Each structure stands twice: as structure tokens, then as C-alpha cells.
Amino acid sequence: MRSVAFYLVLAQAVVFNLIAPAYLNGASSQAKPRFAYVANNQDGSVSVFEVDDFMLRARDYAYIAGSSPLSVSLTPSQKFLYVGGNGSFAALSWYGVNAETGQLTFLSTLPTGGMFQLQVDPTGKFLLSVDGNEVQSYRINNQTGALTLAGFVSGGDPFALAVHPSGKYVYAINEQTNAVTALNLNSTTGTLTKIAGSPFLTHSQSPWAATIDPGGNYLFIPNANGENVSVFAINQTNGALTQVPGSPFPAGSAPDTVVVSPNGQFLYVGNGGDRTISAYSINTTTGSLTAITGSPFPAGASGPLGLAIDPTGSVLYSMDHDSNEVAIFRITASTGALTPENTVRSRGAAISMAIVSGKDSATYVPKSAYVANADSNNISGFGIASTSGSLTAIAGSPFSAGSLPDAISSDAYGRFVFTGNSGESTVSAFTVTATTGALNAVPGSPFSVGRQPTSVAVDSGAHLVYASNNLDSTISGFSVSASGVLTTLAGFPMSVAPLADPIALTIDPRGKLLYVATAASNTVTAYSIDAGTGALTNVGSQPTGNSPNSVAVDPTGRYALVSDSLSSDVYVYAINGPTGVLTQASVSPSSGLGMPYAVAADYSGKRAYVGNGNPSELIGYSLNSTSGALKPLLSSPFSGVSAPFSLSFDPSGSFLYVANNSGNSVSGYTVNRLNGALTPIASPFPAGSAPTAVTVIDSIHP
């Protein structure tokens, strides 16, 4: 029998890397998922995703310097998110949650000796945690989220925990002694006292996690070295535990995480050793488990170290820790069987998830489009009709920019717009008026950069901005204040030598990687981004076609695409999740490409489109999610453009907008989500002189 230490090495987990079972915090089964927060324990961050059916869309991240987040938990009110973990800065941190937009606001932190798992009790009064030595309870201030230590119990080696739905009992899992410490939680004071008969033996080896069914009848514990699941019946009167007949039940290799469906009918156990998920139906009368047909189901590339189910009970998320991914599965309502749907990259080593929900799901609604006009030195701003995609000039448009604004970008929350002004070597920064879409220059704008910034990128949460300066072969980097003011990062501008002519750059959706195309060197280079300092580390270059001029990353974070103007092709590269290293996956087939200007992936992650120069048209491809291969769409090419220098999808995936450099206009298209066909909107819409770039912002509506 292998040891837990061996299993940790096998899983390539960090020291103190424990598995936090997902908890729905009392969310109603009728609630619709809106946002998901994923703890990345080797990155010091929590990723923020918008939940879109069977897709997660990266929106932001929160960074805690020196931390190693292991567990996240929401209050039932969903006002506060708590994050606990280890690392050089072991702390319990909490954030305010904007349930409408998903945005996190840092509130405070409480230094600790480390924390393996935490969970808010169903009443929202107390936060419970385990740190390997104690079980602690903290009283929660429901106005501020602040924590005050209320009680603790020493002894054993508490590794994971589960809180009873009544809020009366807490169960701490002791991995070394193969036992469960059962505790009473005083609903008034938060003090913890042992239940008579505690601790209760699991009769197996290395209990690793725990969860309780919504009715509070059964406690489920996967045993990592026992390769099984212990099931206890819970005495509702006194909290005592009794193993159910047949327990423990067989599981896969090294089961390490567990979650129960909101209706209490199905149990899922992640097996880190054989990279599978065991699925069971639960006998609600006896607590016995029966394997679901098809179980165990293949999980991610490295195996699940955390599981979560959305409040509707229709989607299971598996934290594929070592590959920095979240694997998404459809749950068959009648049988509990799993069907793989999608895989999305998290910022770091994903390990646990919390889900914000509401009466309605969150949806993107098209709001504004902004076009940089190089020759008229301004920005055309348009409001977007949410049903038709038609554009109407925003009051005050056009807005003054710097000289020769060649590039434009905006953040996921639609708060800021940035332009790269190649004629004066500056970057302009604007705030977006939420009600009208009007742009307002921030104090100190424009900000100096290197010579001739041809591309500018901001990460989704507007933490960092980078500009590629092609004449002096440098990259400028800035931090972004809450008001949009840019501050030059230490060590910038940064040379890209021996490469030359950095002409285009983009940040991947999770905010972890910067990709730079260098036209004179015919390469694309990956840089990892330090979330704390913004520093860039070169992690490798790959050859492209001749004269690359545009680079994009698909919304899942799995592929980078580069268009090459002189060789008239598109290269697709597979992205290594943990490192960002690129490996060539495919090259576009011969399909009429001639001097392409730009490439963009749609928000489904299933298609890519190219702005073609000769002739002026749009060419669409399907993007194979497994191989990265491109295949021309049957309805492609699409007409109605004139020197399409830039393409931008609205985040809802409904519309595509194109900056027509020689047409002094913007073309708009509706996007058929089933086959990718583009239908022209009543356009083109007049813009300024020589439009070079376009960006679109949406608002979130529940």
C-alpha cells in the first residue's frame, strides 16, 4: 500500500496541498450559477469565471502575495468570499463579492499558521477551519465580513472538515489516525465541544476529504490509501456517527475529493491516482452506494484534486490541479452519469471552487464599441443595440486620442479603454462612463512608452497593461490604479532582443501569460506574468510564418493563433497549461488567404476568423478543440469589409465588429452560434480616418 507522502509526490502537489471538498453554502437547487471562484494553490491567486452554461469565461483574478490558496468558501448571503491556505504568507483572507458582476474587492486578511480547509456554516454566523492541529471557529461580522476567533479544539490531525446542514455539528477528518472528530457547534457562542463517542474510526486508511448530503443524514469520506469511501449515518439528535452496512465502498486509486449532488441522489469521488471520477447513486434510506453505469469516468489530464457541482445539479467541475485546468461535465439528471463538455484553463493549479448563484444566471449584454482612428487621432465610440447589433454614435464621439492611435483594448468589466499612440510613443488611458459609454481621459494621460507602440493589451481584471514598441524592440508595462492611472512597472520598458519588431501582443484570458509576435524575427514568444509585480519571464519562442502581425488566444486558454501577412497563413499553437510554452499544432489550410491583417477566436472557443487583405474579406475556420486543427467554414468567406485591420467579438458571442482601414468605417455581423456563419448588420457604420483597431465591451446582467 503506497503512503500518502508517495501520493503527494505522484500528484505533484505542493507541501500542505490538501483537498477542499466543494460546498454549496446552502444554495437553493433552483438558483442559477453566475460566477465561479477557483483557488489556485501554486499561484497565490483566485480565478474569477462567469458561468455560461457548460463554459467558464475568465473575467479576473485576485492575488494574495506569498500565499498558497487551498480552500474557498462563500457566506450564504454571498456577500463575502473567504480564502485560506499556506505558503510563505499563510493567512485567511476575505473579499467582498459583487453578485451582479462577479468582481471581488479585497477587504482584509488574518495571518494564521496555515489552513488546509475552511467552510462557512449554513447559518452564515461562523467560519470553520482546520490547520492540521486544531479545528477553529470564527464569528463572522455580517456587515463587514470581519472575523473574530470564537472557539477551537486541539488534538488529532484535522485535515479536512464538513459542517452539518443544521449548523449544529462539525466533522473534522484526521488523516493520520484514520478517524473523524465529531464536534458540537454552539449556535450562540461558536464554541466547539466533542460529541460523545468521538473520534469515530473510518475503518480504512488516510481519510482525505468529507461531505454531507443536503438532508444531513450521511457523512461521506474518501480514503486515499484505502481506495474506498466510508459512509456514516448521522444521528440528527446528537451528531453521533454509525457506519452504514457495506461501508467502506470501493473507489478508484487514491480517492481524494468528494461532492454530493444538491438533490442528495448522487455522490462523486475524484480519484487522483488513476485520474477518474467514481460516481454513485445514494440509497437515501440506508446510505449505501451503488456505482453508476459507466463509472469510473475519465477525468482530466492529471486527475481531480477538487470537485464542485453547480446549484442546478446539472454541471460538475473537476479541478485538474497539475494541468491548471477545470474540466466540465454534464450530469445526466436521471442517472447521474457524466459526459465531458469542456475544459478551461485556470490561472494556476486549480484545487477548489465556490459558486455564486442567483434567481437568474449572468449573461453578457453588448454595450459599446470603440474604434481607434489612426489618421484622425481619435476614437469613435458607438452604443450597441443589444438585439440587432446596430451601432449608434455615443454623445461626445469622437474622443481625442494621441497621435496615430494604432491599437485599442478594454478590460472585461468595461471600466477602461487604452490606446497605443504610435505617432507620439504614448499610451492613452480612459475611463468609461457606465451610463453613456463616453470616454474620459484619466489624470496624467497619455503615458510615455517605447518607440511606436503598435499593440496594447490589458488583462481581464485591469491589473496590468502592456504595449509592444516595434521600433526599439521593447515592451512597456504598467500597473493600473482603481481610477485607471498607469504606473510604469519596475524593469520596463523591457527589451525583447535578440528578437526584433514586436508588432502584436495579447494576454491570455486567465491573465497568466503574454504572447508577443515579432515581425522581423518571424517568431511568437511566450512570457509568464508575475501577478504581484507584473514582471515578464521568457518561457520560449516558436517560429511562425513570414511577418506575423496578429496574435490571439482562444477563450479556453488552450490555443494561441498567429496570422502571418507575407506567408498568408495562420499558425495554431497548443499552450501548455502550467508553463505557457507553445507547441505548433497546425497551420491553416489553403483557403484563399492573402496578406491577412488580423486573427480572432470567437467566444465559443470553437471557431477563428481572419481579416484578409487580398481580397478584402473575412475567412472563418472551425477550431478543433482536441488537435487545434483549422477547417474552413462552409459559409466562408464573408464580404462587406475593406482592409479589415482588426476584429473584435462582443463577449456574448452574438456580434463581430471589424475596423475597415481603407473604408473609414466599422462593419458589424451577427454570429450564428451553431455553424459560425456571419450575417452583415446594416453596415458599415462611419468611423474616423483610417480605423486600425476595434474593441467591444459588454455589461453583465442577471
pLDDT tens-place string over residues 589-609:
766 899 999 999 999 899 999
Average pLDDT over residues 364-374: 96
Burial of 416 (0-12, 13-18, 19+ CB in 10 A): buried
Residues 477 and 342 in one domain: no
Residue 404: all three cell numbers together: 496615430
Are 155 and 287 within one domain? Answer: yes
d(CA 346, CA 353): 11
H or E segment at 506?
strand 502-507
Q: Is the peptide bond before 691 cis (omega within 30 degrees of 0)?
A: no
- Work out the pLDDT band at 452, boundaries 50, 70, 90: very high
The C-alpha cell of 297 is what?
Answer: 469516468
CA–CA gap between residue 657 and residue 216 (Å, rounded): 52
Burial bucket for residue 307 (CB in 10 Å: 0-12, 13-18, 19+) = buried
* Same-domain status, 408 and 553: yes
Q: Phi, psi (5° rounding) for residue 341?
A: -115, -45
Q: Are residue 486 and residue 353 in the same domain, yes or no?
A: no
Q: What is the pLDDT of residue 629?
A: 96
Average model confidence (pLDDT) for the chain? Answer: 92
Proportion of the chain above pLDDT 70, given as a percent: 95
Measured between its terminal Cα atoms, the distance across the chain in Å is 50
Q: Residues 6 or more apart from 604 whose CB is under 8 A from it?
A: 55, 555, 653, 673
Block residue for cell numbers 472563418: 620
Tell which of 358, 381, 399 closes a domain: 358
Contact yes or no for 175/161 (Cβ under 8 A): no
Residue with cell 512608452: 449
The reply to whether 374 and 351 lie within a common domain is no
Note whether 382 and 449 are same-domain residues: yes
Is residue 427 predicted with pLDDT exceeding 90? yes
CB-CB contact of 465 with 457 (8 Å)? yes
pLDDT of residue 5: 38
Spell out the residues 6+ positions from residue 102 whose beta carbon is closer than 8 angstroms to its own.
34, 35, 48, 49, 50, 59, 60, 356, 362, 700
What is the amino acid identity at position 249?
F
pLDDT at 65: 82
Q: Are residues 385 and 240 part of one domain? A: no
Question: What tens digit of pLDDT does each residue of 628-672 get?
Answer: 999 999 999 999 999 999 999 999 999 999 999 999 999 999 999
How is residue 573 written as a grid cell?
499553437
Task: State the average pLDDT over residues 120-143.
Answer: 94
Q: What is the pLDDT of residue 204?
A: 84
The tally of domains found in the chain comes to 2
The pLDDT confidence band at residue 85, using thresholds 50, 70 and 90, is: confident
Does residue 7 carry a pLDDT above 90? no
- Indicate whether 41 pLDDT > 50: yes
**How many whole angstroms separate alpha carbon 50 and alpha carbon 57?**
5
Q: Which residue has the cell 497568466?
A: 512
User: At 73, which CATH number?
Assistant: 2.130.10.10
Q: What is the pLDDT of residue 285?
A: 96
| Three-point CA angle 152, 86, 191, nearest 5° | 10
pLDDT band at 91 (very low <50, low <70, confident <90, very high): confident
The last residue of one of the domains, among 358, 379, 403, is 358
Sorted by sequence, the CB contacts under 8 Å of residue 572 that are 6+ apart come out as 559, 560, 561, 584, 585, 586, 587, 588, 623, 628, 629, 630
On the 0-12 / 13-18 / 19+ scale of CB atoms within 10 A, 201 is: middle
**Cα–Cα distance between 465 and 453 in angstroms, integer?**
12
pLDDT in tens, 457-467: 999 999 999 99
Give every CB contact of residue 124 below 8 A, 6+ residues apart in sequence: 75, 76, 77, 140, 142
pLDDT at 550 over 70: yes
**146 lies in the same domain as 33:** yes
Confidence check: pLDDT of 12 > 60: no
CA distance 617 to 594: 10
Instruction: Judge if 334 and 368 occupy the same domain.
Output: no
Residue 516 β-bridge partners: 505, 525
Closest CA to 412 of 97, 666, 655, 652: 652
Together in a domain, 385 and 270 = no
Tell me, yes or no, whether 394 and 289 share the same domain: no
Does 27 score more than 60 pLDDT?
Answer: no
Residue 22 — pLDDT band, cuts 50, 70, 90? very low
Question: How far lies 504's CA from each of 495, 632, 673, in Å?
Answer: 15, 24, 28
Determine whether 439 is exposed, middle or buried from the number of CB atoms within 10 Å of its CB (0-12, 13-18, 19+). Answer: buried
The C-alpha atoms of residue 160 and residue 171 are separated, in whole angstroms, by 8
Cis peptide before 493 (omega within 30 of 0): yes
Cell of 344: 478551461
pLDDT value at residue 1: 33
Is the pLDDT at 478 greater than 70? The verdict is yes
Q: What pLDDT was estimated at residue 88?
A: 63
Residues 573, 429: one domain?
Answer: yes
Q: What is the DSSP string of 582-612?
A: EEEEEEPPSSS--S--EEEE-TTSSEEEEEE
Domain end: 328, 358, 388, which one? 358
Query: How many residues can be counted in the chain?
Result: 702
State the residue range of the domain holding 652. Answer: 363-701
Higher pLDDT, 23 or 313: 313
